[in-house]
Amino acid sequence: MFPRRAKGLLDFCMAALCVWAAYHHTPAGALLRKAAAWASGTRSSARPLLAYYDGVSGTSLSPPMVAPDVPLSRALTDAEALAWGTHLSLKGARPRARQPALELAAELGVPAASLLDAHSGPGAARTLHVALAKDFPDEEARLTALFAGRVPARYALERVSAEGGAPTLERLSSQLPPGFEDASVGAAQALALATAFGLAWPVHEGARVTSPFGERFHPVLGRRKLHTGVDLGVPVGTPVVAVADGVVRRASEDAVNGRVLVVDHGRGVTTAYCHNSELLVKVGQRVTRGALVARSGNTGRSTGPHLHYQLELAARPMDPLKFRTALRAVAKDAAP
């Protein structure tokens, strides 16, 4: 069909495209990019390696994610967690994306500034949820109304109801009129943050944090590097449990993370458990909150027995200690 020279050129172009895709969109490519950045002394743009296994990369969730900056004094109820997630999502949103929520706040006599305030924000967001609960009883529909406005959300809800099935955020977002992409992102972030407040802890409560989240001097590499999780000092063989219901996306071993598990909890939330001595679940297996999934160890690039626990929201590592108090238990309540 093609002359030999043209076919050769086409084959070359296809091969070049495959190499480019592998370099930019695979774990091996990420390793090469990180190595090149290290050799040249520049900063790598490659995503964290675990992001390739989280099952949510490429979704509408996008940074920035804003973590709580006020210590939580007690566990949150489901409704309070949703209010906190809404407040934090609004705080990190662009001004235009906040507009529907601010308009609703004005209708209810809630000061707009209070929605973004670290102390009053969650309470103000809870007021908005209560006001929307009658027309939008499902929390995902309520979040859509809060970030997109009542009229667009009602339109989307009617379309989803006509098709049958649950009004999930994904389905509602697909039925919103054009121009509401920011609303979908804001609602998804709020839901992810709310879910993070409800996570349990992967080991016993007495485990000591030996290395917190954030920039640190890496004990093996000998240079400053972002520590994308928290290290919990526990003996080899300590039971490691799933922090919430989910699906195992990765159960394997590599030179850096050792024996590692990645669990997708849905709503853009994944957790990773690294340096284990034994993995007790397989890829694709469903796990429940509190289920034994591994035993801690000292495998991979490790200087001593510990569990590296990592929380990611939309493939963006977050400090799990920011959600720590609320992680112990989330009470159930019937309020919106």
How many Å apart are CA 203 and CA 239, to the nearest integer? 7
pLDDT of residue 291: 97
- DSSP assignment of 6-65 equals HHHHHHHHHHHHHHHHHHHHSHHHHHHHHHHHHHHT----PPPGGGGGSS-TTSS--S--
The answer to whether the pTM exceeds 0.85 is no
151-167, pLDDT tens digit by residue?
999 999 999 999 888 89
pLDDT reading at 80 higher than 50? yes
Residue with tokens 């998804």: 188
Q: What is the pLDDT of residue 225?
A: 73
Please state the separation of Cα 128 from the chain's center in Å. 24
Q: Which residues pair with 331 in a beta bridge?
A: 77
pLDDT value at position 65?
67
Higher local confidence (pLDDT), 46 or 93: 93
Max distance between CA atoms of the chain, in angstroms, equals 74
pLDDT of residue 182: 87
Two tokens at 330?
């989330």
DSSP-H helix ranges across the chain: 4-25, 27-40, 78-92, 95-108, 112-116, 121-132, 139-148, 150-163, 169-175, 181-197, 324-327
SS3 label, residue 135: coil
Residue 14 — pLDDT band, cuts 50, 70, 90?
A: confident
Q: What is the pLDDT of residues 179-205, one digit of tens each?
A: 888 898 999 999 999 999 889 999 998
Give the range with max mean pLDDT: 7-11, 24-28, 171-175, 313-317.
171-175
CA 315 to chain centre: 6
The confidence score (pLDDT) of residue 333 equals 37
- Structural domains in the chain plus CATH codes: 4-52 (no CATH), 78-198 (no CATH), 208-323 (2.70.70.10)
| Mean pLDDT to the nearest integer, 137-141 | 94
To the nearest whole percent, how much of the chain has pLDDT over 90?
54
Q: What is the pLDDT of residue 7?
A: 67
At residue 336 the predicted structure's pLDDT band, cuts being 50, 70 and 90, is very low
Partners of residue 271 on adjacent β-strands: 263, 311
The closest of 58, 83, 318 to 190, measured between CA atoms, is 83
pLDDT in tens, 232-261: 999 999 999 999 999 999 999 998 899 999
Nearest Cα to 271, choosing from 252, 296, 300, 243?
243
Question: What is the secondary structure of 55-98 as a DSSP string?
Answer: S-TTSS--S------S---SPPBHHHHHHHHHHHHHHHS-HHHH
Q: Give the per-residue pLDDT at 334.
A: 35
- Reduced to 3 states (helix: H, G, I; strand: E, B; else coil), residue 325 is helix
Q: What does the block give as tokens for 124?
A: 């103000």
Q: What pLDDT score does 205 carry?
A: 85
Tell me which of 230 and 7 has the higher pLDDT: 230
What one-character DSSP code corresponds to residue 256?
A: T
Look at strands 292-296 and 307-313 and give their pairing. unpaired
